Structures are given as structure tokens and as C-alpha cells.
Structure 1
């Protein structure tokens, strides 16, 4: 899954910053399709620069869906903090109201999952969201997968393992402890494989944001990275939402080929949660 479905990692892209379409074609080459979380009001008829990154157009999302098999879920109308909203009308406008908008654009499985912006949720938000969405995204700090009983028990959490860039995993290198936003360390390849090799009856979700390759900038710069090492332990990115392309593809090539690549909506139907 791609959080916020970002087109590229900067409003002034540098060489090595992959576009979402390039990454989608990488995934297709290894037999994978993805789910994108959509912030509805960040998608328009032209690619918009918002908060330092570029977002796709509605036509881009259609291309990903019809040409590459992607599907899309809601990540809110405006990416608002659901716990800061004070009425059910506001909570609906941020969540449930996005479903018909996405459906009108041809994205008919948005009801399968609501990606709570920044993972912020409370009982009041869950009461509204669960009326319209089968599941609500919940980040897990461990590489865990979902099983039917917890996922279909109120408030219907769908555990999602967010993979991030950051410091490298080699303690002998300077990249091991340089300053990184949120004090992140690059997600370890074996942890990704835990999610990509689910046991029968389990459903695993890896989420990332944007992909980079090669080398850009120097250590200490916020949007720098170095993915050139042949060893995943030595790779790093200065921004935790950037992730090395070669590590991602290495993980996907080692996934369980017997596991079904599917969507939250299809899992909801299979597990009896259906469409709320």
C-alpha cells in the first residue's frame, strides 16, 4: 500500500526520485499490484505541489487502476486529524463522504479501508468510520499480519506495517546514527519478508510512501539518500518517507508466491465483513 499516493518525493524532483508510475511498473515486473490511500482534495486535474511533494491527477489514478491493476482506498477528504473533529457531521465529511467521490471516478473499493490520517483515531471517530468502511488502518510497530477474528471485531482494525527509510542498519558506518526526522532507522529486509510471507488465512500489508534509487545529496540533508550499496544494511535515506528501490524490489522478489495479492475490500468480503 502507498500512503497518500504521492507522485514523486519533491516538488523539485532530483534524478533518482522515482515517479509513482515508474514504481508501479517496477511492481508489475515482479507480479505485484498495489493499493493507494487517497487524500481526495489533494487530487486534481493537474499534479499539485502540497507540503513539499507532488500528488497525482485523477487521470493518473485511472491509469494505475485500469492499466496496472491498482485499487484505491480513502485517506480522508483533507487529511484532517479525526480526533480533533467535534461533530459526527465533520467526521462523516472527512471519511464516509469520500466514498461516493472515489466511486464516481471509478474507484469502487474505497469502502474496504479507511486510512486514518497520521493513524489518529478515537472512539468517536471509529463510531462513524465503521458505519462506512469495512476496516480502519492501524499501524503496527512489529511486522505482524492480520487474522480474521481480530480484524472483524469492532472497531475492525487492519494492522499495517509501515516501511520507512532513515539511518542505515550497519553500526560500523556513519549512516547508523546521523540525525533523521522521527529518529527512524531504515526498515530491515527480514521484517518486510515476515509480512510478505503470511501464514495461510493471514493478510499482511506493507505500506510505503515514495521510492528513490542511486544517490542524491549528502548525509545530513533532509532529502538526501544513498541506495548504492549492494548490501541493504548500508543503505539510508535522510527522509523517513523515502525508501530505496533496490531494497523494495529485493523484498518483493522474495515474497511468498503462494500468497494471494488482494485488496482490503476483497478480504472484507472473504471474512464476512462485507460492505458496511
Structure 2
């Protein structure tokens, strides 16, 4: 269970939490109640002594928040780079500083498991960058896709891993007017996601969420959503916000036979290490 860029909560233009939004701390508590912990992708330079607002509409957690998620809720953290730079536009030296530099930066904060996975910012990657730079300090490189990762694929050089990015958007019920809303992708319902958490032996399934909301949005707010009614009528105006009740549905559908863990643990189990 991956959380893109470890975003704390959605905010308004003044960096105040929007009504009916759910903090990542609350998400962590819900997961702990079910004996599960999350994994956050961290953009190192977006975190500070206090919570801060990024791009006006997202509150980023403080370093203390991340420490609390690790010590109280069992979370671990992977890297999305120092600055979330497009790796394909950097020189090899810059690529190394962006990716590998983040491992030490996170370890100095007590987050020593980040070597398990590098989450390429905005899915910008090449085989050359993965094999010549990122593999020196990470076991796996994340790419987006729609399937689980088998151990026969993930254990082959240069060790790519597939992650499902869970998107909000217009509703899935094409008989409803919400299916024509101008909100990019179609909302991914629990019915679509539940098969992805029913993992077969020898496979690694990763679903990545972002920020969460409940009920309906307040009129006139910068983001809009409707999480009431049947799940196939749920919609959100931002691809990175998702209904909390649907997340819990997916969470509760994970079979007891499935291990919920972090990339470094998978790497250790499958014998995959950074190459340096």
C-alpha cells in the first residue's frame, strides 16, 4: 500500500485543510486498527520542521509527522527523489544526487528502508538511468502499470517494479451525468481494485493512493467530490483524491493470506540488492 509523495491532506488557497478531507495520520490509524502499515514515497526537500503547503492545495507533513508514522504506526518510506526532478532531463551526476542522495538524507532522519524502491517522479525513466544510476542505491525502480509484479520479472536486471496508480475522476456509471464531468480519468472503484489486492503466491501487487475525502465537498472549494451513494457514482475533481470509504473497502478486502509489507522486505525475500 503505497502513498504518492506522502501528502498529508488537501488544502485551500490559504493552505488550510479543506472540510471533509482526511489526514494521512487518520489513514495510518485506520490501517493500524486492521494490522496493516503503509509505505510513503518521500520528496525529501518538501518536508521541514513544520507542515507546509505545496502548490497551494496540498499540505506536506513535517519530518516529525513522518517519524510518528514510522514509530507509532509502523510505516516505512521510499524515495521520490530529493526535489521530484524529471530524471530524464538530468546529467548522470545530477541523477545520482537526486536519487541516491535521498537514501542518505532519509536514513539520517531514521528512515533506513528507503533503498527498497525508487519512485521515478512523474513516471519519467529509462532503462539506462535505472541500470547505470538508480540500481546503485535502490533494489527496485517503480513504473506505473496495471498488473502485479512477478518474482520472475522483478528479480531480473534492472529490477523494474509495477505500481497501480489509483485515480479519481468522473464517475464510472455511464448512465449517470457524473460520468460526463470534465475531470480527466474515470474514478477507479473498489470493484476494480479489490482483485489487485488478492495477490497470488510469487507476486507483488502495489496500489498507490494519494489523498482522501469523505461525504461531499463544500460549495465553491478548489476541489469537488461526491463520495455518497453507490460506489460507481463516486467522483472527484482531482485525480489524486479518493473516497476514504472506498479505500477502506479495498483495505478490508485484502485476504489474510496476503502479506502487507514494504519494498525493502520484498527485496530481502527475493534476494534483490542495490548493485553498488
Same fold (TM over 0.5): yes
What is the aligned partner in structure 2 of residue 67 from structure 1?
Answer: 72
Q: Within 2, Cα distance between the matches of 1:218 and 1:156?
A: 46
Matched, 1:151 2:154: yes
After TM superposition, the structure 1 = structure 2 runs for residues 1-276 of structure 1, keeping only pairs within 5 Å, are 1-10=2-11, 11-51=15-55, 52-85=57-90, 87-126=91-130, 127-140=132-145, 142=146, 144-180=147-183, 183-217=184-218, 223-229=223-229, 231-276=230-275
- How far did residue 235 of structure 1 move? 0.7
Q: Secondary structure at the match of 1:172?
A: coil
1:70-98, CA deviations, whole angstroms, 9 ceiling, x for partnerless residues? 0000000000000111x211001110011
Q: Within 2, Cα distance between the matches of 1:222 and 1:121?
A: 31
Q: Secondary structure at the match of 1:239?
A: coil
Q: Secondary structure at the match of 2:187?
A: coil
Q: Within 2, Cα distance between the matches of 1:199 and 1:216?
A: 38
Give every structure 1 segment of 4 or more consecutive aligned residues whose post-TM-superposition deviation is greater than 6 Å.
Answer: none
- How far did residue 218 of structure 1 move? 5.2
Q: Which 5+ residue runs of structure 1 have no aligned equivalent?
A: none
Q: Within 2, Cα distance between the matches of 1:193 and 1:45?
A: 37
The answer on whether the counterparts of 2:136 and 2:274 sit within 8 Å (CA) in structure 1 is no
Q: What number of residue pairs does the alignment pair up?
A: 269
1:109-141, CA deviations, whole angstroms, 9 ceiling, x for partnerless residues? 10000000001012342120011100000100x
- How far did residue 46 of structure 1 move? 0.8
Q: Within 2, Cα distance between the matches of 1:175 and 1:222?
A: 18
Q: Within 2, Cα distance between the matches of 1:107 and 1:16?
A: 31
The answer on whether the counterparts of 2:40 and 2:75 sit within 8 Å (CA) in structure 1 is yes
Q: Secondary structure at the match of 2:9?
A: coil
RMSD of aligned alpha carbons:
1.4
Q: Within 1, Cα distance between the matches of 2:174 and 2:255?
A: 30
Q: Secondary structure at the match of 2:10?
A: coil
- How far did residue 275 of structure 1 move? 4.2
Change (3 A) 1:68 1:196: same
